[in-house]
Structure 1
C-alpha cells in the first residue's frame, strides 16, 4: 500500500472485502470447529502440531481460554 496505486488498492479492499458475508463465514467456521468437529479434538490436533517439547509453553496456560472463545465469545460477538 506504499506505492502510487496503494490508495486505489485500499479503496478496492475497503469496498469489496468486508460485509455480512465475512461475518457469516466467520460464524459458520466457529460453529464448525466448536460444535461439529469438536473442541477437544481440535485442541488435540493443535497439541500434535506444536509438539509437547515445550516450544510454545504458553499454549498450556491459555488453551482453556481458546476453548471458551471458540465456543461462546466469538459466536456471540459475531451475532451482534
Structure 2
C-alpha cells in the first residue's frame, strides 16, 4: 500500500506546486481564467510526473501486480 500512497501524494504535490508557480506567473503568461490555469497545471504536472516519478510508478505497478497475482484463499 505504501508505494501507491507515495506515488499518489507525489502526483498531488507536483500538481499543487505547478498550479502555485503558474498562479504566480499568470499575469506574465496570460492565464487569467482559473479554469485555464487548472487545465494547464494538470497538463504540465502530468508530463512532469511521467518523467520525474518513474521509479515511484514502477514500484506502484509492481505492488499492484503482486497483489493481483497473489492466489486467493479457497473457501470450502
Q: TM-score, normalised on structure 2?
A: 0.35
Q: Give the TM-score normalised by the residue count of structure 1.
A: 0.34
